[in-house]
Amino acid sequence: MHKILNYIDGTYREPIKGQWMDNYNPSLGVISGHIANSTSEDVQQAYEAAKKAFPSWSQTTLEARSAILLRIAQLIDKNLDRLAAAESEDNGKPLRLAKAVDIPRASANFRFFGHAITQFASEAHESIGLDTMNFTLRQPIGVVGCISPWNLPLYLFTWKVAPAIAAGNTVVAKPSEITPMTAFLLGEILTEAGLPKGVLNIIHGQGPSAGQAIVEHPGIKAISFTGGTKTGEHLARTAAPMFKKLSLELGGKNPNIIFADCNYDKMLEVTLRSSFANQGQICLCGSRIFVERAIYDKFKADFVTKVKAMTVGDPMTDVDLGAVVSEAHRNKIEGYIQIAKDEGAKVLCGGHRILVKGMEQGYYLAPTVIEVTDAQCRVNQEEIFGPVVTLMPFDSEEEVLEMANSVPYGLSATLWTSNLDRTMRMSKNIEAGIVWVNTWLNRDLRTPFGGVKASGVGREGGFEALRFFTEAKNICIKYEV
């Protein structure tokens, strides 16, 4: 049984109060180890380490900071197999996915921000006539907090901590208590890469205790959070009276809108992925599929045939879907499938558990397609965050736009069409932070990332992240010539 310890001031430490919690392996449905169940005392210790490290780290040259981030990236690459296996065991995702996406993107985060910080220029404005010169000084904030979810554990953890430290801040970070393993292993890599002690402190434990202590800490000046909308709302209420800078990346219920003039084969192949990648547990999954009526019946038949052929099983083998992340989460997803049936929707395929030989206690669900007739029904409005998509026909652009925008969320949208004018009309009018046209999950790290409405506040990614993790100060100098 492994023990997940905190990483504070460059060393692994047991939780001060000696409290532990269970770490589960979702593909086996068994306890695999124990996690530090940290309290505000551990957060305070991490904060003090971060505060002590700040003066020196914030004055470290950009080249030196950059070199360390690039070394961390290299070491993540070197440990690809070990980290991918740990991610897959902890989360239930197919090893293939962890190897091809999660871990490479984690190292890409350090590599990207290691380079980006050396290119992060500030603005200067000469006020002719007033004889003043203004320039914007971008200063690191100080000690910042980063809190991340379980669905893409190392990828989203590093998505926050890499720009935070690149910009010269020091960090108290907490990964999800459901998937702490890879953030724990990152500690060794940080030490080996030569990151000075206290620059990045990693606390493990529950949201309402350890997480809450980070958000409430008066010395932690900014919080970058990715997780559920309800948690984000709670965080915003907690942080607002302290005037903390907040970045909130929250839930989604994204439309996948398919027009008859699309490249059908490409669309079908990508729609399988955008529906069920990572067991549908990606905030960007296209969980509401709208299909133009002219191709609706054909799409329905082809899609259901392909979904039925998807393999579900031991994530360490070559399967399409592994296990969902926890028993509680499986129950929540099954609850939604029942709600759909109660609301009169039709389950076209899936909707049941899968028993995997030798792993009978694992949390496996069949990929599920639900045909709905009312865009307002609960399964079409609420985030399920599992291998479940809804399917519905539409007749016009206006109708599908209204249905697409009728949810509280606004994270991403996918469009399938070959019509350029329609692409522009739809893209402009869809309420979402990201619109993919004839593709899905294509990410260029320079682009802004985030949602509107209940999907969040603020943007991360590229220079947006470096802007979030710095304060802009206007300096105005009067000169005489």
| Torsions phi, psi for 235 (to 5 deg) | -60, -45
Angle at 449 between CA 447 and CA 451, to 5 degrees: 145
User: 284 or 348, CB closer to ligand NAD?
Assistant: 284
71 by DSSP, 3-state: which?
helix
Q: Identify whether the C-beta of residue 23 lies closer than 8 Å to the C-beta of residue 180.
A: yes
User: 282 or 312, CB closer to ligand NAD?
Assistant: 282
What tokens appear for 6 in the block? 């905190």
User: 34 or 234, CB closer to ligand NAD?
Assistant: 234
Instruction: State in angstroms the smallest separation of the CB of 383 from ligand NAD.
Output: 6
What tokens appear for 271 in the block? 């729609």
Instruction: State in angstroms the smallest separation of the CB of 384 from ligand NAD.
Output: 10
Q: Quote the DSSP letter at residue 40.
A: H
| Torsions phi, psi for 38 (to 5 deg) | -70, 160
**Residue 219, Cβ neighbours under 10 Å: how many?**
12
Q: Identify whether the C-beta of residue 141 lies closer than 8 Å to the C-beta of residue 169.
A: yes
User: 252 or 393, CB closer to ligand NAD?
Assistant: 252
Instruction: State in angstroms the smallest separation of the CB of 421 from ligand NAD.
Output: 30
What tokens appear for 326 in the block? 């926890």
User: 264 or 463, CB closer to ligand NAD?
Assistant: 463
The pairing of beta strand 143-147 with beta strand 456-457 = unpaired
* Active site (catalytic) residues: 249, 283
The pairing of beta strand 30-36 with beta strand 124-127 = unpaired
Instruction: State in angstroms the smallest separation of the CB of 177 from ligand NAD.
Output: 5
Task: For residue 289, give the H/E element and its range.
Answer: strand 288-292
408 by DSSP, 3-state: which?
coil
**Residue 444, Cβ neighbours under 10 Å: how many?**
8
Task: For residue 195, give the H/E element and its range.
Answer: none
What tokens appear for 167 in the block? 């910009």
Residue with tokens 């539409």, as numbered in its chain = 394
Residue 476 burial (C-beta neighbours within 10 Å; 0-12, 13-18, 19+) = exposed
User: 84 or 239, CB closer to ligand NAD?
Assistant: 239
Instruction: State in angstroms the smallest separation of the CB of 332 from ligand NAD.
Output: 10
Q: Which residues bind ligand NAD (CB under 6 A)?
A: 147-151, 156, 174, 176-177, 206-208, 211-212, 215, 226-228, 231, 234-235, 249-252, 283, 383, 385, 411, 451, 455-456
Q: Identify whether the C-beta of residue 366 lies closer than 8 Å to the C-beta of residue 349.
A: yes
User: 280 or 351, CB closer to ligand NAD?
Assistant: 280
Instruction: State in angstroms the smallest separation of the CB of 155 from ligand NAD.
Output: 9
Instruction: State in angstroms the smallest separation of the CB of 95 from ligand NAD.
Output: 20
What tokens appear for 228 in the block? 């559920």
User: 234 or 300, CB closer to ligand NAD?
Assistant: 234
Residue with nearest beta carbon to ligand NAD: 207
Instruction: State in angstroms the smallest separation of the CB of 150 from ligand NAD.
Output: 5
Instruction: State in angstroms the smallest separation of the CB of 28 from ligand NAD.
Output: 21
What separation in angstroms does the CA of 287 have from each of 238, 292, 392, 411, 445? Answer: 31, 16, 11, 12, 24
Task: For residue 450, give the H/E element and its range.
Answer: none
DSSP 300-361: HHHHHHHHHT--BS-TTSS-SB---S-HHHHHHHHHHHHHHHHTT-EEEE--SB---TT-TT
What tokens appear for 140 in the block? 């690191």
User: 223 or 359, CB closer to ligand NAD?
Assistant: 223
